[in-house]
């Protein structure tokens, strides 16, 4: 009762940190305010707890997947997402059985492609890119190459100016661009030619300039995008996800384009910030409601951190820090534990803030969100349609937990590079 509602989270934060962060070498616990950089990591006991929970959840997930849709190949709700989880587990543990599992799942997806969509998250590019990577890691060069060839064949519809493909991450060009950048990161630079990437980037820029002109916003927001007639802001369907991909070093967008087109557009989104630090789901929406990766600060934080890296201006970091505050206040979600609109996805924003600032406060917050995921299923949260999937369900929470215990190399799946 000594603490007001606003002070309470801060109080809890400095109190509970004792149990979570300790000196990795001596095992001594220290207070939140006195620990020095680098000396303190995540307490061993907490790590153990997380690792045990990962085993437990993996078992539950495998059991649950027995009744999952055998034809859903997507990274978002289907088998490619499960393959991505096993790739991640292979990365953090080095266990070859995980890579084998990833192969089993990705093989299943490659039989089910339907040519309807082109993105990493929801289309054929996801299984093909993940297939190329898994086969490459297993030294199956011919199979890897076959996946890459098929991945590149998708570009035709992506760059064609008369196609009605959108630009956002889930179903649009930015989601295809991610697939190309992903294979370049995982297999090696130039696996996909710069010329191909330049064409895809060119198509995204063209589309953004066109809509901006149509809407008479060339001054304020030179790159404008919409999906289903709405100008979304967030990472999944909106501006944040598209700008984030355009600013990736691997996208090799020229400094001039970054400065003249991307920067003012990012600033335009910045000006839509609510007083809370959150962002609207679309440009026409005035209500400060959703705090999800797909809509709201947990997605926008990534574009702000990237803008800070690229343009080296403090204002971007400051806004990102404000995102961190609203996510800390409102980011434990009743919608579930997943990546897209769940607690795990929101937890990733703290890991990214931690990368950018090296402030242990963010590591602590990431651990607290992980702690919530450790009590999976006990909070009366809504059960998503695909409860074991990467972006809606349990696989996403496991992915997050496996990243929290190795926070230095954490990476939001199908988004961060
Ligand atoms: Zn969502």
pLDDT tens-digit map of 100-127: 999 999 999 998 898 899 999 999 999 9
Cα-to-centroid distance, 94 and ligand 1 (Å): 31
Q: How far is the CA of 290 from the centre of ligand 1 (A)?
A: 10
The rounded Å distance from CA 245 to ligand 1 centre is 18
Backbone φ and ψ of 54, nearest 5°:
-60, -45
Question: Quick check: helix, strand or coil at residue 158?
Answer: helix
Distance (Å) from CA 281 to ligand 1 centroid: 11
Residue 250's beta-bridge partner residues? none
Find the 199 Cα to ligand 1 centroid distance in Å: 29
DSSP for 118-139, please give it: --TTTSTHHHHHHHHHHHHHTT
The string of pLDDT tens digits covering residues 258-270 is: 999 999 999 999 9
Q: How far is the CA of 377 from the centre of ligand 1 (A)?
A: 19
* Residues with Cβ–ion distance below 5 A, ligand 1: 294, 340-341
Give 172: exposed, middle or buried? Use CB within 10 Å, 0-12, 13-18, 19+: buried
Model pLDDT, residue 25: 47
294 C-alpha to ligand 1 centroid (Å)? 4
Cβ contact 56:388 at 8 Å = no
DSSP per residue, 60-115 = HHHHHHTTS-TT---TTTSHHHHHHHHHHHHHHH--HHHHHHHHHHHHHHHTS--S
Per the annotation, binding residues for Zn(2+) are: 294, 340-341
The terminus-to-terminus CA distance of the chain in angstroms comes to 44
- Ligand 1 centroid to Cα of residue 142, in Å, is 36
**Residue 66 and residue 64: Cα distance in Å, rounded?**
5
pLDDT tens column, 386-412: 999 999 999 999 999 999 999 999 999
How far does residue 36's CA lie from ligand 1's centre (Å)?
37
Structure token pair of residue 159 = 């760059």
Q: Ligand 1 centre and the CA of 50: distance in Å?
A: 25
Q: What's the 304 CA to ligand 1 centre distance in angstroms?
A: 19
Q: Which residues are annotated as a binding site?
A: 294, 340-341
Taking Cα atoms as reference points, which of 322, 239, 323, 341 lies closest to residue 283? 239
Round to whole Å and give the CA distance between 215 and 208.
11
13: Cα within 13 Å, side-chain hemisphere? 17
Q: Which band of pLDDT confidence, cut at 50, 70 and 90, is reported for residue 279?
A: very high
* 390 Cα to the center of ligand 1, angstroms: 12
Q: Distance of CA 225 to CAs 98, 257, 392, Å?
A: 39, 16, 25
Residue 280 to residue 292: CA distance in whole angstroms: 11
Radius of gyration of the chain (CA): 21
- Measured over the CA atoms of residue 250, residue 254, residue 259 and residue 261, the dihedral's sign is negative
| Spacing, Cα 291 to ligand 1 middle (Å) | 10
pLDDT in tens, 285-299: 989 999 999 999 999
Give yes or no for a contact between 231 and 166, defined as CB atoms under 8 angstroms apart: no
* pLDDT value, residue 16: 45
Q: How far is the CA of 134 from the centre of ligand 1 (A)?
A: 27
Q: For residue 255, report the distance from its CA to the centre of ligand 1, in Å.
A: 32
pLDDT of residue 29: 44
- Residue 40: the pLDDT is 63
Ligand 1 centroid, distance to 289 Cα (angstroms)? 13
Q: What percent of the chain has pLDDT over 90?
A: 83
pTM value?
0.90
Tell how far the Cα of 237 is from the centroid of ligand 1, in angstroms: 9
Q: Both tokens of residue 86?
A: 């096993």
| Dihedral sign, Cα of residue 51, residue 55, residue 56, residue 62 | positive
What pLDDT does residue 32 have? 36
For 226-250, write each residue's pLDDT tens digit.
Answer: 999 999 999 999 999 999 999 999 9
CA-nearest of 324, 374, 378, 333 to 354 is 324
What is the model's pLDDT at position 38? 46
Q: Minimal CA–CA distance to 393: which of 328, 329, 345?
A: 345
Structure tokens at 350: 């703290």
Query: What does the block give as tokens for 272?
Result: 């839509």
> 338 C-alpha to center of ligand 1: Å?
9
């Amino acid at each position: 009762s000594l603490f007001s509602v606003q002070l309470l989270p801060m109080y809890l934060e400095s109190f509970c940190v004792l149990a979570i962060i300790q000196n990795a070498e001596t095992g001594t616990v220290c207070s939140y305010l006195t620990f020095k950089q680098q000396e303190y990591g995540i307490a061993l006991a907490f790590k153990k707890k997380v690792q045990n929970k990962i085993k437990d959840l993996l078992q539950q997930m495998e059991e649950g997947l027995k009744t999952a849709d055998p034809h859903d190949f997507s990274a978002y709700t289907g088998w490619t997402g499960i393959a991505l989880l096993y790739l991640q587990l292979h990365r953090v543990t080095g266990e070859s059985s995980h890579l084998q599992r990833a192969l089993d799942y990705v093989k299943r997806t490659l039989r089910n492609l339907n040519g309807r969509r082109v993105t990493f998250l929801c289309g054929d590019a996801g299984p093909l890119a993940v297939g190329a990577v898994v086969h490459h890691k297993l030294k199956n060069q011919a199979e890897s190459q076959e996946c890459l060839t098929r991945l590149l064949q998708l570009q035709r519809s992506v760059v064609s100016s008369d196609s009605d493909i959108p630009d956002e991450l889930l179903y649009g060009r930015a989601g295809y661009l991610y697939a190309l950048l992903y294979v370049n990161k995982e297999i090696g630079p130039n696996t996909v030619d710069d010329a191909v990437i330049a064409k895809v980037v060119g198509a995204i820029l063209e589309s953004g300039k066109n809509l901006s002109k149509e809407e008479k916003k060339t001054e304020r927001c030179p790159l404008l995008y919409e999906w289903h007639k709405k100008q979304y802001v967030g990472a999944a369907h909106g501006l944040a996800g598209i700008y984030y991909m355009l600013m990736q070093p691997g996208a090799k967008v020229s400094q001039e384009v970054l400065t003249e087109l991307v920067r003012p557009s990012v600033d335009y989104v910045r000006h839509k910030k609510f007083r809370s630090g959150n962002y609207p789901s679309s440009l026409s929406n005035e209500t400060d409601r959703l705090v999800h990766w797909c809509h709201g600060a947990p997605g926008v934080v990534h574009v702000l951190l990237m803008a800070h890296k690229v343009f080296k201006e403090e204002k971007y970091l400051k806004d990102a820090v404000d995102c961190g505050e609203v996510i800390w206040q409102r980011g434990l979600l009743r919608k579930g534990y997943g990546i897209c609109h769940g607690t795990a996805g929101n937890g990733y924003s703290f890991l990214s803030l931690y990368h950018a600032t090296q402030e242990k406060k963010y590591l602590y917050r990431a651990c607290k969100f992980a702690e919530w995921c450790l009590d999976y299923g006990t909070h009366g949260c809504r059960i998503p349609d695909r409860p074991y999937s990467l972006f809606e369900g349990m696989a996403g929470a496991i992915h997050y937990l496996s990243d929290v215990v190795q926070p230095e190399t954490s990476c939001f799946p199908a988004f961060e590079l």
